[in-house]
Structure 1
Amino acid sequence: MFDLGSGYGVAVSIAPVVRAPWPEQPLAAGVTSRSGRLGDVLPVAARTDAEIAAELQRVQRAKSALAAYEAELVVGLAALRPDGADREIGEPGVAGEAWASGPGRQPVAGVSEFFADELAMVLNCSRTAASVQGDLSWVLVERLPATWAALADGALDRPRAFGLAAELSDAARELEPAVLQQIEAAVLPRAGSVSVSRLRALARAELQRLDATAADRRRKQAQKSADVTVTPMRDGMAELRIFLPQPMAAALHGTLDGYARMAKADGDPRPLGQLRVGVLTDLVLRPWDESRPPVTAHLTVSADLGALRASCGSADIDGQPITAAHLRELLEQLDALCPGGLQAPAGGTLHLALTDPVSGALRAVVPRAELERLARRGCPHHPEGTCGCPLLDRPADVDRYRPSPAQRRYTRARDRTCRHPGCRNSVARADLDHVVPHAEGGATSCSNLCCLCRRHHRLKTHAPGWRFTMTADGVLTVTTPSGVTRTTRPPGSRIPDRSDDDPPPF
C-alpha cells in the first residue's frame, strides 16, 4: 500500500500455487475404500419417527429444487443447439412429414431436431424419455414461470410440476403468456393438495374455459398421432398400446368387456382381464378375410458352435474355421428339434446364425439349403472329408458402395436392432450404413457396416459434431457434440467391456 496524497493505492501480486497431491495411503489387508454416503453422515437409525418424517419432507424439497435446476440445464443446453444446421424442406435427408407429426417429435422452435438424441446420450436414457424431458423443461422454464418457481422453491414437487407441464405442453406452444398465467393462477393454489391426475384435470378444464376453440383444434391435431405400439415386458409378456380418440377407446373396451363377461357367465374360469385379451386376439386374428395375403415368417436361428465340441472332436472352436464336420453335426441337431427337421415356414425363409462360443461374435449366416449343400459336398480339395478346411466365414468385402446380399444378412443378424445407443428399432426398418463414409474411403465390409434406423442414419450423416467409430468385432462407439460417449455391442456379444478405455480418438 502506498500514499497517493489524496488517497491510497493497493498493489497486488499474483503467483500460481501448485498444490501437492495428497499422499496415497496404502490400505490394510481386507480393507476397501468407497465414497462417503449420506447415511454415514446422517445415520437413519439414530432418528425418531418424527425426525425421519421431517427429513423425508426435506428430501422432497431438495429433489424439487434439483428438478428445477435440471430443467434450467436442459433448456441451457438446448439454447446451444440451434436448428441452423438442420435439413430444410427440399434438401436431401430432411425429416418426413409423417415422422415430424408424431407425439413428442416436434422440437422446440429454434432448437435442432437432433437435440433430443444428444440429451438421451447425456442422461443415458431413451430418446423418447429425453424428448419428453426436453419439451417439459422448456414448458416449465419458458412458459410456466410461476410453476417453475414453485418447483425451485420446494413448494411444489416434481410429479405435480411436470404433470402440469405435460397437460399444457401443446397449448404452451400457441397460447399467449397471459392465458397461461391465468391457468397457473387458477390451479397452483390447490396444486399441492390434490393428486397429479386431479391437477391435470383442473388445468384441462381451465384451458377449455379460456380457449375452447384452440382446445378443439389441438384435439383434432392429436388424432393424427393415433398409433399402435408394442413394448416388451418381463416374463415373456408384452404391452400393446393403442393411442386413439377417447370415444373409440371407450367403445373398444366396452365391446371387449361385454364379450369377456359373456364368456364368464358361460362358465369360463379365467379372470376377466385374461378373457378380454382372448376376445381381442380372436377378433383381430381369426381368418375371416380370405382376401388378405397369408402370414409367413423369416426365421434366423442362432446356433452356438460350442455345442458341437463334444461330438465333432475339436478341442477348441474359438476362432477356428467352420468345417464340414461342424455343419453335419449342426444339421443333426436341427433335425432332432422336430419331426422332419427344422424347415423354413411356407413363403418364408430360414437362416442359421453361427456364433462363437467364447466371444459370442457372429461367425456366419447361411440358409439351411446352403448349409445342407456345404455339408454334403465338404471340402472340394479334400474329398475324404477329414480335413479342417474352412467352409464358412464372414462375408467378403465388396469393392462398391452397395453391400452384398450376404453382408446384409450377416449385419442384420449381428445387430438385430438399430445400433445407436438406447435405440431398439428393428432391423426390418433400419438402413445399412457405412460407419466410415464410403465417400471418405470407408470399406463396404462387415466391420464397417452397422444397422441404423432412418432417424439415426440421418443424425450420423447430417448432425454436426457427432462421431461414430466401430471396431472389427462390431463394437460401436458414439460421441455427442458435448463430449459424452456411449458404446453398444452386438446383442449376445461377450466381448470384454473396455468402458474404462479412453474415448475416441483414443
Structure 2
Amino acid sequence: MSEWLELQAEKARLHAREAELLCAAFGEALDERESRVGADDMRDIPIRSLTAEYSAAGRISSRTMESAMWNAHVLVSEFPVTFQALQDARISPTHARIITDAGARIDDQEKRFAYELAAVDYASGESPNRVRSVTRMLAAKHGDVKFEEQRKAAHDHRAAWIDDFDDGSALIHILTSSVLAHAAMDRASQLARLAKDPHSSERTPVLGEVEKHPATIEDEDLIPEELVLGPDGLGADGESLADAPHDDPRTMDQARVDVMIDLLLAAAAESVAASGAEAIRGRVQVTLPAAVLAGASDAPADLAGCGPVDADLIREIAGLSPGWDRLYIDECSGMVTATDRYRPTAEMRRYLRARDGRCRFPGCAASVLRCDLDHTEEYSRGGVTACGNLGHLCRRHHSLKHPDVDSKHRWRARQLPGGRIEWTSPHGRVFVDHPQPRVHFT
C-alpha cells in the first residue's frame, strides 16, 4: 500500500507539472490573441492552432485539449493555493478540479484566496465526493452569491430532453432544482425497494443478525429498515453486494427506472408497488439557521450531499413540511450542540443526524438517510447508548466492523472528543473521520 500511496502522490505532482506546462503555452496564445485586432474568429487563430498541434501530437481531440488547457490556465493563474497543494500532493487532481469549479464564481481575488484556504484545508483530509458539497457552501459564503436570483434563473431554464442511441435505448434528461431532483430520486428509490421486495424487513441479513439498537431509540420516526437500504438493496453507497437474497431479479437501478416510467405513464403510485406506495414521499435533509425561517436572513441553507440552496425556496418548503427540528449550533466550531426536544433518545437521534450528515466511514458520502445508527462499541459488549458512542454507517461499511467478520478483515472504531471517529484498518493503518462541517454565513 505504501508504494501505491506514493504513486498517487506522484500522479498529483505530475498533474501539477502538466498544468504548469499547458498554462505557459496557453498563456502565450492568449497574449497573442489579445494583441490582435479584427473579428473574434481571426483573433482566436493562435489558440486554435496551438490546441490543434497539441491534440495531434498527443492523439487527443481538439476540444478535449482546449478544455485541458483552459482548466490548467485557471488552476495555475487564478487558484495559486490549490495549485501549490496539488504540487505538494496534499490533494488529488480531482480535488483541484472540484475546488476550481466551485470557486469560479468568485471574482474578487481576496475573497477567492480566503475561499481557497478554507477549501484546500478541508479537501486535504477528505475524499472528493465529500468535498464537492462543502466547496459549494464555501464558495457561496465567500462569493456573496445571490441564490434567489440564481434559482429563478435556473427555474426559467428547466427542461426535459431525450438522447437516442443506436442500440434502441434512450437517455431522458430532466433539468430542475437540486431540491426537487434529490427528492424525486429518493422517492423513486423508496418505491423501487418496495416494488422489489414488499417484505424486505423479513430478509435475512448477509452477515446474520446484526446489532440492533435498544427499543428506546427505535421509536416512531426511526427510518424503517426497508427504506435505509442502499441503491442495490444492501449497500447505501450504491455498490453491488450480489449475495443479498431477494425474489425480484431486477437490479436496483432497473427497478428504479421501471418505477419512474410507470409513474410518468400510469400516474398512479399504486401500480408500482404491492402496498404503501402512495404514502411514500421524497425526502431531503436541509440544515439552516433559524433566522432564515423567520425571514431575518437570506443566508443559504445546506442541502445534504449537494450544497447551498436559496432561502426563499427553503421557506416555501418549510411551509409545507409537517415539522422541523430546531438545532443549536456553536458559532465558533460549527458543531451542532443540542436540540430543543426533551426526550433523550429522540434528541440524540436528531443530534446525530445533524452532526454526521453522512456515513462516518472514511471517504464515504452516503446520506445519513441511507445509514444505520450504529454503536461504535457494540451494545452487546457493554457499549452505552450515548452520543459519544453512536454514529451513522451505511450497510456496506457497517458490515466491516461487525463482530462476525474475521479479524484479518475486520475494522475497529472508537470515538474521540468532538464527534471524531478513529478507524483502524486490518493492516493497522489509522484514519480519523471528522463530523460534517457547517459553513456559516455572516
Whether TM-score is above 0.5 comes out as no
Larger Rg: 1
Q: Which has the higher helix share?
A: 2
Q: Which has the higher contact order (CA 8 A, sep 6+)?
A: 2
